[in-house]
Amino acid sequence: MNELLWKEFVIKKVINPDALPDKIANSWGVCRKKDLNPFQMVSNTVLRYDQLSMKQKRHKLLIDLVEEEIIKISKILNQSESLFILTDAEGYIIWRQGNARAIDQANNIGFFEGSRWNELDVGTNAISLAISKRMSQKLSRFEHYAVASHEWSCFACPIFDGDHLVGILDISTYKNNHIEHQSVTQLIAERVMNRLFQRRI
């Protein structure tokens, strides 16, 4: 999708349903109805340090399992401008790791631990869609509602413990329409779910 479609929607309030996937068009419509500012740079909701610490303790097993899997590909990750993000089921970022430049750019838009990335905080994004649809979601650049995310392409995978959604594993690539390591991200999420299942039985 190109920038022109986004500008037509934001400035002229015109949307071409044939040019947008339904999930994007519907989400953009929700953002507009809720008067979400597309030029807002950071999330409306950020946890205090003590609140973040409590969430991280509550989800320590999930974080540990993801970290163990990420370590196996850390060399590849550092060579690309990619960033791994782990959220809880509400969209709060509880852990992240990746390329140093990508981290710097993420900090500029509040894409850091403690920040909530749901639809009404930051507009249309892969994390919020993965939470609502309960399946993997991919968004590239101008498909995001907020201009702050237009330099990013993202792929988000839900993580379940049995029937319960416990988190979202997202990989975001800076200034690139192509999301690097998408299949690896899906594989990591599946391996984490398998390990959660093994522990449960």
CA–CA distances in Å: residue 40 to residues 69, 102, 139, 155: 34, 20, 19, 22
**Does residue 178 carry a pLDDT above 70?**
no
Alpha carbon 69 to its chain centroid, in Å, reads 18
**Does residue 92 carry a pLDDT above 80?**
yes
Tell me which H or E stretch contains 94: strand 93-98
Cα–Cα distance for residue pair 178/170, rounded to 1 Å: 14
Angle at 121 between CA 119 and CA 123, to 5 degrees: 45
Q: Which domain covers residue 61, as residue numbers?
A: 3-200
> Model confidence over 27-48: pLDDT tens digits?
998 998 999 999 988 898 999 9
Amino acid at 138: K
- In degrees and rounded to multiples of 5, residue 112 shows phi and psi of -135, 175
> Model confidence over 93-138: pLDDT tens digits?
999 998 888 899 999 999 999 999 999 999 999 999 999 999 999 9
77: closest CA among 186, 182, 149, 3?
182
Residue with tokens 């631990």: 113
Cβ partners under 8 Å of residue 3, min gap 6: 142, 150
Give the full edge-to-edge strand order of the sheet including 93-98: 93-98, 82-88, 164-174, 152-161, 137-140
**Does residue 60 carry a pLDDT above 90?**
yes
Q: What local confidence, expressed as pLDDT, does residue 79 receive?
A: 63
Handedness of CA 15, 175, 80, 195 (dihedral sign): negative
173: closest CA among 123, 117, 98?
98
Taking the model in full, what pTM does it have? 0.92
**Average pLDDT over the chain, rounded to whole?**
90
Q: What local confidence, expressed as pLDDT, does residue 9 receive?
A: 87
Token couple for 126:
């892969």
Cβ(21)–Cβ(40) below 8 Å:
no
Q: What local confidence, expressed as pLDDT, does residue 1 receive?
A: 66
CATH value at residue 66: 3.30.450.40
Number of domains in the chain: 1
CB atoms within 10 A of CB 124: 24
